[in-house]
Amino acid sequence: MAEAAKTAVYLCAGCGIGEAVSIEALEAVATGESKASSCRRHDHLCDDAGVATIQADIDSGAAERIVIAACSERVNADRFRFDGTPPIRCDLRERVAWSQPPGAEDTQMLAADYVRMALAEAEKSAPPSGQADPGTSKTILVVGGGVSGLTAALESARAGYQVMLVERASDLGGHGAKWSKRMPHRPPYRLPQDNDIGALIAAVTAEPRITVHTRSRVVSTAGGPGRFLVTLDSGGTTIEETLGAIVVATGWRPYDATKLGHLGYGASPDVVTGVELETMLGAGELACKSDGRRPAAVAFIQCAGSRDPDHLPYCSSICCGVSIKQALMIRERVPDSSVYIIHDELRTPGTAEAFYRAAQAAGVIFMKGKVSAVGADLTVTVEDVLLGETVAMAGLDLVVLATGMMPNATAPEAEAIAPQPAPDIDPLAPILAAGATVPEPGSEDASEDDSGPEIGSILNLQYRQGPHLPILADGFADSHFLCFPYETRRSGIYTCGPVRRPMDMAESATDATGAALKAIQAIEAAAAGTALHPRGGDLSFPRINLDPCTKCRRCTVECPFGAIDESDDDYPVVEVARCRRCGTCMGACPVRTISFENYSVEMVSAMIKAVEVPDEFAEKPRVLVLACRNDAIPALDMAGISGTRYSPFARVVPVRCLGSVSALWISDALSTGYDGVILMGCKAGDDYQCHFVKGSAITQERMGKIAETLKSMMLEEERVVTHEVAIADARRAPELIDSFLDTIAEIGPNPFKGF
């Protein structure tokens, strides 16, 4: 198919390319040895005339496949967009003209190789033909009717989308409806503000695009973006609905204060949690529970069960502000009261500093210290680090424990009897050689499905990875806060508010707006049949030729998004809407039967082999760099933009994710005479930055296998290295390449050169 296509090459001479290399010589490479059907040069290919030239060739039928040999694929994507004819981009600017000395022989060789590689890519790929039946539902399911869920629903509706809002309780509002005042979120940020959640509830109720289901829960979620099949139990009635995207805003619950006996909880009715104090403050006259007296001396104990390895290890971020709010309210209601806030570190960032100062000015006393005990008579024993003494505070009427927030990443009612599920990015699925024993479905499911049967699930996902939302640290259903906020590792399902990380009402509202926008993106991408972030716009998807398939299940197990499942006869089936097009399945497949129309094992092999490898006497080594498109490629681009020079002997092939790297590419490179291979991927581990969750982690696993391959080829292990490269590593990435070439110089040329 691709062999018959007319491939046109467009060589740009602008931005210094024309000065760095001989365009004429590249034309000869393109049309001569590489058999391009036509080749044009242009001084500024991205200008109107340049773009018009390309369009004219497409229109006349002279160009069926186009190779744009100009700048990085990361720039001018909008200029070089031709409907139905996606270009192959060949970077002669950032990776050649801007990072190599102009006019040098090695620079010319580098550029020529990139042209050859691009033509190989053109030959071995085709424009994606797209999906036959994309999902079409544009309704957003919002789970949770607190501040986050209400805001997500309202923002989605106001953007024109239908919303189904599901709330377990009989009323909307969640925790937020319980507070009589809220922390200030408007200038001058000094005093508690009236709780305006009533207006939010009214707006949601009045919004015609929102359908509210109270006393409801999700009993089953199947499908994927654009066609989630969701079953609700709504007050005993079963409702089935096809939905486009899901926002989970199930919020939080307070830490169980009965575990805080050492802080007096349970010993006296006048030791209460902050949440319980809210109820007391909302009841009008403030009165002690024991005898109804007005509390004249009140102590707040911050970090009660927080930042404590025996309880919650993290900071809930809002408790300092909440206690300040409550202290100010007590000072207002009981003007002659003494109110103490005993804290370790007081955390009042940003505008909360004004709130803290207002409390100081109002006479609230802040004490830095660790509370070791609270007696039944409310005597608080505190190691006051500012006085350097242990003191027993007597005469208190009320002790308030500022307890932390716990995420409702699982359904709350089952929490008491089950532990939190462990993060599901580990353990990695085992990497098996072709033909090796397939693990029993039962044992494999046990490692993937992290649910205990007794834990309630929010969505009851019908995914092979189990029914739960993935969680990151400390039970929060979060993802990387910078790289992919709101994402859950389940495509089309987003979280916002305190289920994601501890936050207050104002932050939750902002967060919900972000998640709503992500949900809308997912719906529109699903409808267009394209991938989600970060491969937005990609129409390709994995195509599996089942003939050679050994049913080894590695693709189904390793897919980070649960997009591949087994059919009844154990063959892999792709749920395209869930697929993120990372190619991890492709890299996993031992028989290489998974490919994308525009990305395949064969295509990259052809690119690798297209490079001209000089013999060992030329003393021009060659190194293959398989670089992740998300971080390593931008880092190398920035190196070029900043004019960083690095070795002309490296040949860079962008890959979708290190997870997509096939071991064949490495053996191809080494048998072709490359002296070594560098794999550049994203950060792995608990704080991973891989957009596809575990690409780098999988690669590290696979490196063991690659080392064996090297050994069998009698090659040194040092010839293949893996590095984690972040997007900001513009200085480091070229250094890694240069230092790898030093290593190659030490161990000598690849003995396979020339064979």
Sheet strands (E) in 128-254: 140-143, 163-166, 181-182, 193-194, 210-213, 216-222, 228-234, 237-243, 245-248, 252-254
- Shortest reach from residue 336's CB to another protein, in Å: 9
- Measured between alpha carbons, how far is 448 from 422 in angstroms, rounded to an integer? 11
Which tokens in the block code for residue 147?
């501040």
The secondary structure of 348-394 as a DSSP string is --TTHHHHHHHHHHTTPEEEEEEEEEE-TT-PEEEEETTTTEEEEE-
Kindly determine how many residues on this chain lie close enough to bind another protein according to the rule CB under 8 A: 23
Measured CA to CA, the distance from residue 576 to residue 134 in angstroms comes to: 8
Whichever of 362 and 428 has its CB closer to another protein, that residue is 362
Among 56, 202, 283, 365, binds another protein (CB under 8 A): 365
Q: Smallest distance, Å, CB 392 to another protein?
A: 6
Cis peptide before 192 (omega within 30 of 0): no
Rank residues 365 and 728 by Cβ distance to another protein and give the closer one: 365
Q: For another protein, which is the closer residue by CB, 245 or 324?
A: 324
The interface region with another protein, picked from 16-24, 144-152, 211-219, 384-392 by CB under 8 A, is: 384-392
Shortest CB 442 distance to another protein, Å: 59
Q: Under rule CB under 8 A, which residues in 408-427 are in contact with another protein?
A: none
Whether the Cβ atoms of residue 546 and residue 571 lie closer than 8 Å to each other:
yes
Rounded to whole angstroms, what are the CA distances from 153 to 169, 189, 497? 17, 27, 13
* 311 versus 368: smaller Cβ distance to another protein: 368
User: What is the closest distance, in whole angstroms, from the C-beta atom of residue 353 to another protein in the complex?
Assistant: 10
Q: Whole-angstrom Cα distance, residue 453 to residue 414?
A: 10
Which amino acid would we find at residue 528? A
Q: Does 391 help bind another protein (rule: CB under 8 A)?
A: yes
- Answer for which of 56, 392, 473, 591 binds another protein (CB under 8 A) is 392
Binds another protein by CB under 8 A, chosen from 103, 235, 395, 430: 395
Residue 373 touching another protein (CB under 8 A)? no
Nearest in space to 221 (alpha carbons), one of 191, 242, 200: 242
Cβ–Cβ under 8 Å, residues 554 and 465: no
With contacts defined by CB under 8 A, name the span among 233-241, 360-368, 656-664, 670-678 that binds another protein: 360-368
Contact flag: residue 377 with another protein (CB under 8 A): no
Q: Is 474 left (phi over 0), alpha (psi -120 to 50) or beta?
A: left
Tell whether residue 434 is a contact of another protein (CB under 8 A): no
Which member of 79, 357, 370, 543 binds another protein (CB under 8 A)? 357
Cβ contacts of residue 374 below 8 Å, gap of 6+?
A: 262, 263, 264, 267, 271, 301, 380, 381, 399
Under rule CB under 8 A, residue 328 binds another protein: no
Strand 252-254 versus strand 271-273 pairing type: unpaired
In the bound complex, what is the minimum distance in angstroms from residue 329's beta carbon to another protein? 18
> Judged by CB under 8 A, which stretch of 322-330, 356-364, 604-612, 630-638 contacts another protein?
356-364
Q: Which of 195, 338, 465, 667 contacts another protein by CB under 8 A?
A: 338
Q: Could you give the CA distance from residue 184 to residue 416 in angstroms, rounded to a whole number?
A: 34
Question: Which one, 364 or 519, has the nearer CB to another protein?
Answer: 364
Q: Which residue lies nearer to another protein by CB, 388 or 453?
A: 388
Does residue 626 sit in helix, strand or coil? strand
Smallest separation (angstroms) from another protein to the CB of 390: 5
Amino acid at site 497 = G
Considering only residues 256, 384, 444, 448, which one is a binding residue for another protein as defined by CB under 8 A? 384
- By DSSP bridging, strand 405-407 and strand 237-243 are unpaired
Q: Which two tokens stand for residue 2?
A: 């691709």
| Out of 363, 536, 685, 754, the residue judged to bind another protein by CB under 8 A | 363
Candidates 237, 372, 390, 545; binder of another protein (CB under 8 A) is 390
Q: How far is the CB of 369 from another protein (least distance, A)?
A: 10
* Site track 632-671 with another protein (rule: CB under 8 A), x = hit: ----------------------------------------
For residues 660 and 603, what is the distance between their CA atoms, to the nearest angstrom? 13
Instruction: List the structure tokens of 233.
Output: 């139990």
Q: Which is nearer to another protein, 104 or 373 (CB)?
A: 373
Residue whose CB is less far from another protein, 104 or 365: 365
* Residue 340 interacting with another protein (CB under 8 A): yes
Nearer Cβ to another protein, position 345 or 612?
A: 345
Nearest distance, CB of residue 307 and another protein, angstroms: 20
Least Cβ distance, residue 386 to another protein (angstroms): 4
Nearest distance in Å: CB 189, another protein: 16
Contact status: 199 vs another protein (CB under 8 A)? no
Phi, psi of 735 (to 5 degrees): -65, -35
Cα–Cα distance for residue pair 703/711, rounded to 1 Å: 12
The per-residue DSSP string of 56-125 comes to HHHHHTS-SEEEEEES-TTS-TTTT--TT-PPEEEESIIIIITTS-TT-HHHHHHHHHHHHHHHHHHHT-
With CB under 8 A as the contact rule, the residue among 345, 389, 426, 570 that binds another protein is 389
Per CB under 8 A, the list member of 92, 393, 461, 626 interacting with another protein is 393
Cα separation, 462 vs 474, whole angstroms: 24
Which of 265, 366, 486, 561 touches another protein by CB under 8 A? 366
Burial bucket for residue 428 (CB in 10 Å: 0-12, 13-18, 19+):
middle
Span near another protein by CB under 8 A; candidates 316-324, 385-393, 458-466, 592-600:
385-393
Instruction: List the beta bridge partners of residue 299.
Output: 340, 399
Residues numbered 82 to 101 that lie near another protein (CB under 8 A) are none
Enclosing H/E stretch for 650: strand 650-655
Whose Cβ is closer to another protein: residue 19's or residue 353's?
353
- Residue 300 or 366: the one with the smaller Cβ distance to another protein is 366
Shortest Cβ 659–another protein spacing (Å): 50
Choose one: 364-372, 414-422, 696-704, 720-728; the region binding another protein (CB under 8 A): 364-372
Chain centroid to Cα 115, Å, comes to: 34
DSSP 19: H
Residue 387 interacts with another protein (CB under 8 A)? yes
Q: Which of 187, 309, 349, 388 lies at the binding interface for another protein (CB under 8 A)?
A: 388
Q: With respect to another protein, which residue has the nearer C-beta, 382 or 611?
A: 382
Q: Does 368 bind another protein (CB under 8 A)?
A: yes
Sheet harboring 650-655: ordered strands across? 650-655, 623-628, 676-681, 720-724
In the complex with another protein, the residue whose CB is nearer, 270 or 668, is: 270
Applying CB under 8 A, the span of 201-209, 383-391, 624-632, 657-665 interacting with another protein comes to 383-391
Q: What are phi and psi of 181, to 5 degrees?
A: -135, 160
Token pair in block for residue 442: 């039962």
Residues that bind another protein (CB under 8 A): 338, 340, 357, 360-368, 384, 386-395
